Amino acid sequence: MSDKNTKTRDQIDNKYKWNIESMYPNEADWNKDYNAVMQMSDEYSKYSGKLGESAGVLLEAFQEKDKIWQVAEKVYVYARMRRDEDNRVTKYQAFADKCNALLAKASASMSFFTPELLEIPEDKLLGFIKEEPGLKIYEYLILDILREKAHILSKAEENILAQMSEVTSATNDIFTMLNNADIKFGTITDEDGDEVEVTHGKYINFLESYNREVRKDAYDHMYEAYKKQINTIATTYNYNTKTDVVSARIRKYDSSLAAALTSDNIEKEVYHNLINVVNKNLYTLHRYMQLRKKILGVDELKMYDVYVPLIEIPDKTISYEEALDIMRQGLAPLGEDYLSRMNKGISEGWIDVYENEGKTSGAYSFGSYDSMPFILLNYTEKLKDVFTIVHEMGHSMHSDYTREAQPFIYGGHSIFTAEVASTVNESLLMQHLLKKETDINMRKYLLNLYIEEFRTTLFRQTMFAEFELLTHEAVERGEVLTPEWLCNEYEKLNKKYFGEAIGDDEYIRYEWARIPHFYNSFYVYKYATGYSAATAISNKILNDGKTAVHNYIEFLKTGESNYPIELLKIAGVDMSSPEPIELAMKAFEKLVDEFERLV
């Protein structure tokens, strides 16, 4: 499927669409569940003031709470994914909007729960766990709530915050609609002389073009569009950041960073370790940029030159079916059970493959506890797209193992651990491709691709993490995030990370404005830490065989049954130490060394 013009959704074969109908074959059932959550939320107040009466009442309240959220999650996921199929469809815009109200109502109805739980004397609460076997499953959750006792507000205050959640999440929705439904980037002339629209899905392919004018035109069109919207986007992001800061203060955290890390029980040192270790190793990235400049033979390296592969190979398209076969080969070290589960998921309709008009850009794995672990793609038949499938499949397989092994309350994942599952897959695929490659030119290409994965995941996401830290600390000092301040700070960071090889650039200062992850604050650092952990785990799998595979699969089954740092120890990695990041930096340096020798 190599049509340059973006298709409408009804022009795409159903075999390339996810089986979202499996969630609600009849949308009347969606409305039924929606109304059921509304009703159950209204009735949940019957437990208010009674949690400490007995172990039995507490267990019942926990179980009813889980039931409400389990159905609400399914309702929300369906609406959100339907909207993502085509953001222009007003019916599913309305579904998603209704779900925001639903989640806010559910949160408000249960907002008394945690404050009231904490009013129960601790010895009495722990006694309930011993007395009622059914509460044993909630022991970790209860102890985790006790850990956060200092940051839980009164019942009345928690209720107010819960009711405000629909408003405080608005900045994310505003940016999503602007970025996916409204903003347009115009058309450019591609390598074949055809007039082609610049879209989110096509943009990276344009930047990988060997025609420098195509790269420049796509880059200019992209950032000119964001430049025109910069005041709106800066205002949106400013209030998004203010929301984080105000929320942290309300809950008595010493910073918005501390508030963001607390759910995973992550110390701030982990975040700072990442930035510090990467900063100390920027010299290798600078050396790679100088090498890139030399190989491209340009007088001045521009940011639109950063993504083009340095080794040119025949322009080969990889069909979706071929990509699946490559994935199966690359993930073979994970064992038969992993592969059979994966193949079953593919055949049952986990994956939505191609870009269509209005479809949400990028790629993700998403689903509810009761649904398939769906995958959204915008597949363009390039080798990098194969890595995207493998990445998202890592997330979905993580969900598949976890939901089978864990109850609903522990059936999700921290992003801190989720990014490990996806990146282990990428690393295994790359090692597989390098091992079987006999053509020296292709080996150089793959090495360059591997270097780029390090650059875009470990270095780039750390740069984003540093930017988020700067913006939140500025707001905490009482400053306003003006367009000029945001653009200037981002430009300085970009120069620090990329070094002297990059020439002056009038547009890169606007790049922050197109990053959706900034609306889920202090999120992107987990990509970088996850990449570091995954590098270590994939090496264990390839070197230690069955024992490492067993430990890794056991890790995949754990969900949120413990804190991320402890769960990763099951797979043999300690992320409380800077060592995994330092080892990843050494691995990056070795790749650059080998690549430099070969070219």
Residues marked active site are found at 392
| Integer angstrom CA distances of residue 242 from 159, 226, 260, 356, 524 | 21, 22, 14, 35, 18
CB of 583 within 8 A of CB of 532? yes
Report the distance separating Cα 505 and Cα 548, nearest Å. 46
Pairing status of strand 374-376 against strand 364-366: antiparallel
- Position 501: which residue type? A
| Integer angstrom CA distances of residue 238 from 475, 494, 513 | 8, 20, 11
| Integer angstrom CA distances of residue 141 from 9, 17, 262 | 43, 37, 14
Q: Would you tell me how many other CB atoms lie within 10 Å of the CB of residue 55?
A: 19
Contacts for 208 with CB less than 8 Å, ≥ 6 apart: 307, 308, 309, 382, 384
Report the distance separating Cα 519 and Cα 241, nearest Å. 8
Q: Would you tell me how many other CB atoms lie within 10 Å of the CB of residue 439?
A: 10
Token readout for 182 is 């409204």
Token readout for 556 is 């995949």
Report the distance separating Cα 334 and Cα 131, nearest Å. 42
Report the distance separating Cα 111 and Cα 4, nearest Å. 50
Helices (H), 349-482: 383-405, 415-436, 440-453, 460-476
| Integer angstrom CA distances of residue 46 from 64, 145, 351, 498, 559 | 11, 22, 42, 58, 31
Report the distance separating Cα 160 and Cα 246, nearest Å. 14
Give me Rg for the CA atoms of the chain: 24
Report the distance separating Cα 514 and Cα 55, nearest Å. 50
Q: Would you tell me how many other CB atoms lie within 10 Å of the CB of residue 430?
A: 19
The three-state secondary structure class of 246 is helix
83, 77, 75: which is closest to 177 by C-alpha? 83
Report the distance separating Cα 461 and Cα 453, nearest Å. 11
Q: Would you tell me how many other CB atoms lie within 10 Å of the CB of residue 210?
A: 12
Report the distance separating Cα 196 and Cα 287, nearest Å. 35
